């Protein structure tokens, strides 16, 4: 990607529940970045999930996929809600996410678990474990292979699921993890179960090969059971955690809960091509939709990830992250992260504050 491109086309999928509320604030932040740094962001607003079911009778219209493929990146709010809970199989709103991931070839899921020092009270771990400089871990999870995609079946009183990984699949996700580590603290912990599983032994071998291309990055292997324990025992030892689909599913949820703030955490899904998909880790939170209560920070930080990983706009991404930090440092909180005795602000106000800070 050329650094001189100044016009970016972004597919925007607000989705359901609080999706539209938080996406609106994220777009205002992008607008401000464009103004300050001289970029133009062009949006095409698209339907997916419940919103698409209501309008077109399917969770992921072809037009949405086509437009996403034609864009430089995808910004997604959240999909689903009780209104569509009676639907099953291919008609579920969540099918839109799977369809987008496979349609766009997104094999890497990046989930930072960042604990801002100002929000330490939300962390369930003891103060002495976290210290005074918060926590910053990046989980890099393989997203389109492994046991969730292997041959499966039921045979009378037995059922089976198969776990397969090819060298190529491991290689591309390992490369992503080492590339990301180069932009961070240059440490990769590759998590597997190589004492039991052949796929994990292959995983180790490939990771070691890939590591040779990144001599500046220190790496280690860790068994998944140990990693689950180390995450709550001493999480500061981790920088980038590289792992497969199922282990990553579990460990990234564990890591995010150490921060205690579901409304604060962004995510990115990346592939070989230029299009990435960026979304908050939380769901559509239908209980608080449309009430100007939802925390927009996870989505705003997702746009920072988009600028960093899809557009290589590092200083613009830093500007967003620093603006969020400043607003928190000044004591502003949405309802979900407010402490006792503190005053809370609404979704729009939080968006305003971050925009002003930029
Ligand atoms: P899904 O199945 O889509 O993951 P869920 O109900 O399991 O949905 P969330 O939608 O993530 O999980 O929400 C769980 C609860 O967390 C919500 O009811 C809401 O109160 C709170 N929550 C989630 N996201 C936010 C946010 N951005 N701001 C404030 N509160 C939030
Ligand atoms: Mg959920």
The answer to whether residue 1 scores a pLDDT higher than 50 is no
Name the pTM for this structure. Answer: 0.93
Give the position, in ligand 1's atom list, of the atom nearest the Cα of 287.
18
pLDDT in tens, 71-123: 999 999 999 999 999 998 889 999 999 899 989 999 999 999 999 888 888 89
Looking at all shown ligands, the one closest to residue 281's CA atom is 1
Give the position, in ligand 1's atom list, of the atom nearest the Cα of 22.
27
Q: What is the ipTM of this complex?
A: 0.93
Mean pLDDT over the full length of the chain: 95
Question: What per-residue confidence (pLDDT) applies to 162?
Answer: 97
Percent over 70 (pLDDT), the chain: 99
| Centre of ligand 1 from the C-alpha of residue 175, in Å | 32
Ligand 1 pocket test: pick from 262, 294, 300 the residue with the most ligand atoms within 8 Å of its Cβ.
262
Q: What is the mean pLDDT of residues 33-46?
A: 97
- Complete DSSP assignment for 135-167: EEEEEEEE-SSGGGTS-EEEETTEEEE-----H
Lowest mean pLDDT among 57-66, 204-213, 230-239, 271-280: 271-280
Q: What is the mean pLDDT of residues 313-320?
A: 97
Instruction: Give the environment of ion ligand 2: residues with CB less than 5 A.
Output: 283
Q: What is the mean pLDDT of residues 55-80?
A: 97
Characterise 69 by phi-psi region: left (phi > 0), alpha (psi -120 to 50), beta (else).
alpha
Confidence of residue 236 (pLDDT cuts 50, 70, 90): very high
Best CA proximity match to 266, nearest among 39, 12, 75, 9: 75
Written as six digits, the tokens of 202 are 């292959």
């Amino acid at each position: 990607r050329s650094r001189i491109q100044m016009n970016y086309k972004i597919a925007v999928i607000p989705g359901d529940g609080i999706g539209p509320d938080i996406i609106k604030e994220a777009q205002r932040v992008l607008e401000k970045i464009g103004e300050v740094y001289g970029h133009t962001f062009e949006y095409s607003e698209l339907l997916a999930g419940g919103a698409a079911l209501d309008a077109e009778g399917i969770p992921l219209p072809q037009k949405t996929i086509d437009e996403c493929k034609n864009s430089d990146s995808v910004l997604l709010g959240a999909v689903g809600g009780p209104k569509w809970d009676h639907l099953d199989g291919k008609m579920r709103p969540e099918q839109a996410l799977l369809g987008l991931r496979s349609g766009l070839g997104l094999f890497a899921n990046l989930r930072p678990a960042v604990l801002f020092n100002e929000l330490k009270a939300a962390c369930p771990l003891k103060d002495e474990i976290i210290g005074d400089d918060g926590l910053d871990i990046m989980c890099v999870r393989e997203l389109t292979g492994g046991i969730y995609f292997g041959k499966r079946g039921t045979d009378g009183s037995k059922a089976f699921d198969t776990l397969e990984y090819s060298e190529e699949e491991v290689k591309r996700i390992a490369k992503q993890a080492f590339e990301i580590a180069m932009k961070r603290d240059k440490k990769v912990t590759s998590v597997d179960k190589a004492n039991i599983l052949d796929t994990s032994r292959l995983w180790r071998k490939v990771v070691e090969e890939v590591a040779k291309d990144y001599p500046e990055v220190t790496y280690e292997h860790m068994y998944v059971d140990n990693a689950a324990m180390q995450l709550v025992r001493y999480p500061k030892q981790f920088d980038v955690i590289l792992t497969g689909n199922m282990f990553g599913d579990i460990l990234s949820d564990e890591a995010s809960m150490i921060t205690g703030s579901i409304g604060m955490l962004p995510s990115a899904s990346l592939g070989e091509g230029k299009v990435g998909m960026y979304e908050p880790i939380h769901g559509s939170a239908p209980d608080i939709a449309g009430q100007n209560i939802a925390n927009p920070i996870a989505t705003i930080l997702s746009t920072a990830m988009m600028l960093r990983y899809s557009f290589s706009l590092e200083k613009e991404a830093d500007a967003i992250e620093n603006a969020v930090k400043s607003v928190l440092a000044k004591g502003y909180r949405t309802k979900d992260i407010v402490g006792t005795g503190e005053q809370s602000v609404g979704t729009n106000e939080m968006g305003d504050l971050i925009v002003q800070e930029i």
